[in-house]
Amino acid sequence: MAKKLILVISLVISLFVGQVIGQEFPQLLEYAVNMQSINPAFDGLWGQSGFWMSTRTNWIGVRGALVEQQFSCYTSVLDYKAGVGLNVQRSCIGRENRLFLTGDYSFMIRVGLNRYLRFGLRAGIVNFDNSLKNYHLFPDDIPDPEYSANVRLYNMATMGLGALLYTDRYFLSFSIPQIIANTFNVNRNIYSSTPEITTIYLSGGVVFSLPRDIHLRSNMLVIHTPGKSACVDVSTLVYFPGKLLLGSNFRSDGVVCFLGQYTFRNNIRIGYAVDYPMFADIRRFQFGSGEIVIGYTFNPDKRKYIKPTFF
């Protein structure tokens, strides 16, 4: 029943995806295979431990465009019933810099024979720095009082939460990565350092088994900020034998994404993703975005059997 419900929702949203205007997007192009980046409830899922790091360059060809870097490590604890994680995230656009340092905790509740419910909490600090005085104003560096002082605020609190319902074959995910409004005065009107405040992430996925040990995962992500239009991301991932993964995403802002990932015998995985806008008016100014992810998964307890995972 749950699989049918997810498929119906995916179909309905895909029919109207062209009418939805998006403004907030996941920070990872490869978020579908790193779900803990948007939901702390995924930390320690399936009893695994590991880490991953990524670098994303947005809008290649645009000077001063957004660059995002992340590092995350996670492990299961308490006999695989809970998980903990540590995240470091850095983003730079122009002279604006943000640095997030957060910790995760998740715990599991069994709600059926093969059905589980996990809850996650994320908390930490964020540092914000914007050297406004160093910008070259147009035209001819005419003075602007809004750029007369730099913005520097350190160790602001950040907090998020998430929930996850899952089996071996499907999952439903809900999260709010940032629920604290870090707003402050800096010689001007209210200046917010976190425009993603109260953004809600709702995601679901179903895994299908195909011949020749191939698995297909259909995934959907809905992102909504109160007072703004929703954004929809529909993706398909194909898991081939030999630990090769290929996938594609379509976002409601008219951007298509392609990704590939390979896991070596030593459990090191390397992935690369690229997105590209399909609208000509956007393509004239940039060449899309690129992202590389490197990860490593290990079995700290050296268990003889580990479930194959597809999310």
> What is the rounded CA–CA span in Å between residue 7 and residue 21?
22
Please give the class, per CATH, of domain 2-298.
mainly beta
Q: Collapse the DSSP code of 15 into the 3-class scheme (helix H, G, I; strand E, B; otherwise coil) and give the result.
A: helix
So what's the pLDDT on residue 152?
A: 79
Query: What is the token pair recorded at 264?
Result: 């070596």
Q: Collapse the DSSP code of 115 into the 3-class scheme (helix H, G, I; strand E, B; otherwise coil) and give the result.
A: coil
pLDDT string in tens for the chain (311-residue length): 444 434 433 433 333 333 333 334 457 899 999 999 999 999 988 888 999 999 999 887 777 788 999 999 999 998 889 999 999 999 998 888 889 999 999 999 999 888 999 999 999 998 988 877 777 777 777 777 766 677 777 888 889 999 999 999 999 999 998 887 665 545 455 455 444 457 899 999 999 999 999 999 999 999 988 777 888 999 999 999 988 999 999 998 888 999 999 999 888 999 999 998 887 566 667 778 999 999 998 877 766 555 667 88
Calculate the alpha carbon distances from 307 to 73, 167, 168, 297 in Å: 20, 12, 9, 13
Decide if 197 contacts 177 (C-beta within 8 A): no
Decide if 119 contacts 163 (C-beta within 8 A): yes
Chain position carrying tokens 């914007």: 130
- Residue ranges of domains in the chain: 2-298
Taking the complete model, does pTM exceed 0.75, yes or no? yes
143: preceding bond cis by omega (within 30 degrees): no
Question: What is the rounded radius of gyration, in angstroms, for the C-alpha atoms of the chain?
Answer: 20
**Minimal CA–CA distance to 98: which of 178, 217, 15?**
178
